[in-house]
Structure 1
Amino acid sequence: MSKRILFMVLTMALAIYAGAASAQQLSLGQLSQYLNQLQTAQGGFTQINQDGTISTGQIYIKRPGRIRFEYNAPNDALVMAGGGQLAVFDPRSNIGPDRYPLNQTPLGIILEANVDLNRERMVTNIVSDGTTTTITAQDPDNPQYGNIKLVFTANPVELRQWIITDELGTETTVILNDLETGGAIGDIQFNIVAEMRQRGY
């Protein structure tokens, strides 16, 4: 094979590879549609904190507006969102959970009733390595609340992990394990007042 023909073959092969890789990048419309169709989901999670500590547990999602993180021992904490609030239950506390408005946290972005990632200034970065598509999203009206970096795979589209950067710049990574979508999850799982009553607050 002559050098000229070899060069042409290699060029074509690289073009085909590059096309296949770029084809894996998901559009913001596709990702918005995936999140909006994600009504319920549950599975395991691994959390990596900024200081390098690792926690594991179970996650429950019921869109819009509801999520629950049950942490395994020795952490034994609980983080849940419902009724427009995000509550952090510390088992060592006897004064009740810390509570924050959900829409002032980056988690509120993916729990909205209608996620529109094409909204102006919502997505600040999108990259693909040919296997995953990663976007960085923020509240376009309140970027000071922090941002959330979402990692998706294609065929089928699946959310695999996220990295939350809060208003102080602290990063928390959550890796989703065996997330199963669909199925019934009771609303009581996301009722902050009922959880407080159950814990005797």
Structure 2
Amino acid sequence: MQRRLAPLILAFAAVPIALPVIAPAAAQQASSDLTQVNAYIRAVTTMTADFSQTDRNGQTLTGQITLKQPGKIRFQYQKGVPLLIVGDGKALTMIDYEVRQVQRWPIGNSPLGALLDPSKDLAKFGKVIPSGDPTILSVQARDPKRPEFGTITMIFKRDAGSPAGLQLYGWVALDSQNNRTAVRLTNQRYGAPVADSAFRWTDPRPKGRSAGG
């Protein structure tokens, strides 16, 4: 369960998608909303938060997320879960200490690129999803040519006291096998100093190969 859940955190498809035809006023609002999300991503220099990750069977893992722009992120799971996900500015790495395996993805092509690269333009790979609640802003990313990436919907709350007037509430991922995972963030804290050492990791593979320090 643990090793299946973790990759769903990476279920962004940060590539261009086809957008539906919508009314001019709605299109203008959607464009404004995407601009606001871009502004949020660029305004967040550092963030820490608690996260709760729940799959479709109701199984939940918790932990802490640490983010530092550009490109650095760490998912530290709760005690007893032998998984770690780290972005060091160049690559995203998932470390499974139980089976001593390491997997890496270039951040430029990674699912989390939407949050980890302030230079990206969400208008090129995302669309606004109506929520029916004016205080909620949802943005979906999906690549129809790569169904294995599934679909991700990032959920923001409008909050005047947060960066660019938005608070990242979490995201919902749906993979190609229709497995649903929801990640909720709480206790978001912005702007505190975060040392680069927070994004190092110990390589569990034999012969002491340590790619993360």
TM bracket, shorter-chain basis: 0.7 to 0.9
Structure 1 unpaired stretches of 5+ = 1-22
Normalising by structure 2, what TM-score?
0.69
Task: Quote how far apart the aligned CAs of 1:197 are.
Answer: 7.6
Structure 2 counterpart of 1:32: 38
Task: Quote how far apart the aligned CAs of 1:73 are.
Answer: 2.4
Cα distance change of structure 1 residues 105 and 52 upon mapping to structure 2, 3 Å threshold: farther
Question: What do the CA deviations read for 1:37-91 (whole angstroms, capped 9, x no partner)?
Answer: 1110002110112443100011100122111011012314211112432211222
Q: Which amino acid letter does the alignment assign opposite residue 187 of structure 2? A: D
Structure 2 counterpart of 1:75: 81
Cα distance change of structure 1 residues 165 and 191 upon mapping to structure 2, 3 Å threshold: farther
Q: Which amino acid letter does the alignment assign opposite residue 78 of structure 1? A: L
Task: Quote how far apart the aligned CAs of 1:32 are.
Answer: 0.9
Structure 2 unpaired stretches of 5+ = 1-28, 161-165
Task: Quote how far apart the aligned CAs of 1:102 are.
Answer: 2.9
Equivalent of 1:164 in 160, 173, 183:
173
Equivalent of 1:188 in 197, 200, 211:
197
Task: Quote how far apart the aligned CAs of 1:167 are.
Answer: 5.8
Please give the alpha-carbon distance, in whole angstroms, between the structure 2 residues aligned to 1:63 and 1:118.
20
Task: State whether structure 2 residue 69 is matched by structure 1 residue 63.
Answer: yes
Equivalent of 1:127 in 121, 125, 130:
130
Task: Quote how far apart the aligned CAs of 1:138 are.
Answer: 4.2
Equivalent of 2:116 in 111, 131, 134:
111
Deviates most, 162-171 or 57-66: 162-171
Corresponding residue SS for 1:118: helix
Please give the alpha-carbon distance, in whole angstroms, between the structure 1 residues aligned to 2:89 and 2:152.
21
Please give the alpha-carbon distance, in whole angstroms, between the structure 1 residues aligned to 2:176 and 2:196.
29
Please give the alpha-carbon distance, in whole angstroms, between the structure 2 residues aligned to 1:73 and 1:131.
34
Please give the alpha-carbon distance, in whole angstroms, between the structure 2 residues aligned to 1:161 and 1:116.
20
Q: What's the RMSD between the two structures over aligned residues?
A: 2.9
Structure whose CA Rg is larger: 1
Task: State whether structure 2 residue 158 is matched by structure 1 residue 149.
Answer: no
- Contact 2:46 2:192 (8 Å CA) reproduced: yes
Task: State whether structure 2 residue 102 is matched by structure 1 residue 97.
Answer: yes
Q: Percent identity?
A: 30
Normalising by structure 1, what TM-score?
0.72
Task: Quote how far apart the aligned CAs of 1:114 are.
Answer: 1.3
